[in-house]
Structure 1
């Protein structure tokens, strides 16, 4: 989808520990960190699909509500790299692919079939600001998960449902836009914003 040139668009590497909003909404959030601390964004900017506080990686921002609606309407793939607690089995990967039952808004929800595979090598990602336990405390494994839906904390809930909780979660792709070699906290303004599968 191509957007009008009157809108402004950014891609950022959302750091671990930041909320996907631009400023505090209430007094309880005063000690939290917000996207507005990374850059002075234009009025009317919105995050397209959120990443929870403990998740990091590619986040698209735009002033174009139609673009936001298009990406959030489950037409566009989002790919995540997840580091898991334990050495994930082939059976668990197959379960994730076909869909698992998770809790959402107090109800049971069956996730849609998605693409999941084990990463052969540990991905080259920036060091996270908060340490993750290392293999001295048991093995970990990395998988790629590609979804078109995006329920709150969905990937984390999915991996827990098959017995392998997520230790680190990084979004690396939205449609054709890649995280590539961006570093934590990077903000890049895009002159021409096209998002497609």
Structure 2
């Protein structure tokens, strides 16, 4: 994994910030010895690194920067930067399950912090996943909007599984005030440091 920290002493003028809509099955790194798809297949900018991780089987917003301090602020759970996920789950979510997710659920590595959770309709501007999820005709699915203020490994999937709602599709839509709007899967654009409110 090449998640080495970005350079620490970079000025605001030299800071580069890239937002990327990571497709399904792409690793959040630039190199891989198993010839899997990585960020290098999409982004041709040198010396930028992801602020936080997004699992290979998850999709959505990734922020990359060459500024180590910014990388730390965005990735560090102690900085209280909310990360908003759209989550398609198997089953019809009910209020008891939602309340449990909001309050915090016990995982092997500790109780999750309180989260913001609501049931939402399928997002309008959602792109088709490639490959599509496997749906079972006899079991309905529902969508949740889940905002986390911490970053345990595979946390969303473990949380929804704990309350009986296995995650089928996971999309990170927003970090702090930056969201995916207007970015198709595999697309990226550079933004100004001043656009990030943290």
Same fold (TM over 0.5): yes
The residue that corresponds to 2:122 in the other structure is: 122
Could you say what the CA RMSD is over the residues aligned between the two structures, in angstroms? Answer: 1.4
Q: Which runs of 5+ in 2 are unaligned?
A: 1-10
Q: Which runs of 5+ in 1 are unaligned?
A: none
The residue that corresponds to 1:40 in the other structure is: 44
1:155 aligns with 2:156: yes
The residue that corresponds to 2:73 in the other structure is: 70
Output the TM-score relative to the length of structure 2.
0.89
Q: 1-side partners of 2:52 and 2:196: how far apart? A: 13
Q: Deviation of residue 183 (structure 1)? A: 0.5
1:79-122 Cα deviation digits (max 9, x unpaired): 0000001111110000000000113xxxx310000100000x21
Q: Deviation of residue 196 (structure 1)? A: 2.5
2:88 pairs, out of 75, 83, 86, with 83
CA contact (8 A) 2:81 2:149 kept: yes
The residue that corresponds to 1:169 in the other structure is: 170
The residue that corresponds to 2:3 in the other structure is: none
Q: Deviation of residue 157 (structure 1)? A: 0.5
The residue that corresponds to 1:136 in the other structure is: 137
| Structure with the bigger percentage of strand | 1
Q: 1-side partners of 2:97 and 2:192: how far apart? A: 42
1:8-44 Cα deviation digits (max 9, x unpaired): 11000000001111111xx4xx13110111021212x
1:41-63 Cα deviation digits (max 9, x unpaired): 212x1101111010000100000
Q: Which secondary structure does the structure 2 equivalent of 1:10 belong to? A: strand
The residue that corresponds to 1:14 in the other structure is: 22
Q: Which secondary structure does the structure 2 equivalent of 1:173 belong to? A: strand
CA contact (8 A) 1:19 1:53 kept: yes
Q: 1:71 to 1:192 in 2, by over 3 A?
A: closer
The residue that corresponds to 1:50 in the other structure is: 53
Q: Which secondary structure does the structure 1 equivalent of 2:145 belong to? A: strand
The residue that corresponds to 1:195 in the other structure is: 196
